[in-house]
Amino acid sequence: MTADQMRARTDHFSVQIINFCKSLPPDPFTRRIALQLYDAGTSVASNYHAACRAQSRAMFVSKLSIALEEADECVGWLHKLAVTGLASGEALAWLQQEASELVAILSASRKTARSRLKQHNH
C-alpha cells in the first residue's frame, strides 16, 4: 500500500468514525465514549498525515507510533460499545474490522521504520 493509499484509507476511517459517533444515542455514558472514539479516530488520520510530512526518520517513527496508539484505542472503544450493547450493526462491525487492520498495518510500518532508523544510525 502506498502512502497516498494509506492517507486515503485513514481519512475514510476518520469520516466513518465521525458519522458513527454522530449516530450514537445521546445519553451521557454513550456520548462520553463517542467523544473518546471521535478523538482517537480522527487522530489516526491526522498523525498519519503528519508522519508522511515528517522531516526526519525519528519524527516519522514518532508520528506513526501515535497513529498506531490511536488506532488501538479505537479498537478498545469500539469493543466497549459492542460488549455493553451501546452499539451494534454493520457500521460497528466495519469499524472494528478496519481499526484492527489499521493497527496491523501501522504496527508493521512502525517496525520497518524503526529497523531502518537503527540501520541509519549505525
CATH number at residue 9: 1.20.1440.60
Residue 6 has a pLDDT of 97
Residue 15 has a pLDDT of 98
Using an 8 Å Cβ cutoff, are 16 and 42 in contact? no
Domains held by the chain: number? 1
Of 34, 50, 54, which Cα lies nearest the Cα of 95? 34
- Which residues, given as ranges, of the chain have pLDDT below 70? 120-122
Q: What is the pTM of this model?
A: 0.92
**Domain, as residue range, for 17:** 3-121
